[in-house]
Amino acid sequence: MNPGLLKLVHQCRRLIQSEFGVKLHLTEEHLEQHLADYASKTRSAHLIRTWETLKPQIPNLVLHDDTDNEKRLYRGQEIAEETSRGSSSTSEMEAERTRKKKVIYRGQVIG
């Protein structure tokens, strides 16, 4: 294996471990796919640059595009979608109205 390629792989693994807490091993099956997945989820510009340098040097790399299923991510983790946004806003409005009806100041009900 090329020493420059190995250095880039180690650098990607180290950056992934520091950001996501996942330790990828060199002997792992589909290591290049795992590297690509974490590189697509990262917020680190350094990891993105390292992966972009490494990507052309990997033979037979097949990337899976998830552009059809646009998933919302927060810090690299998928966010569960809310099923009913309209009903939650209605319940919030009702809660606001009930809060405004009764105000207690120094033990006395005001308003």
Amino acid at the residue 98: T
How far apart are alpha carbons 39 and 10 in whole angstroms? 14
pLDDT over 80 at 8, yes or no: yes
Backbone angles phi, psi at 110, to 5 degrees: -120, 140
DSSP state of 100: H
* Domain assignments of the chain as residue spans, ordered by start: 1-66
**In this structure, how many other beta carbons lie within 10 angstroms of the beta carbon of residue 88?**
11
Please, what is the Cα angle at 37 between 35 and 42, to 5 degrees? 90
Supply the angle between the helices 3-20 and 45-54 in degrees, to the nearest 10. Answer: 150
Residue 94 has pLDDT above 80, yes or no: no
At 31-90, the pLDDT tens digits run 888 999 999 999 999 999 999 999 888 877 766 554 445 677 777 777 776 655 555 566
The encoded tokens of residue 103 equal 């105000």
Given a cut of 80, whether residue 92 has pLDDT beyond it is no
H helices of 1-111, in order, are 3-20, 31-41, 45-54, 85-101
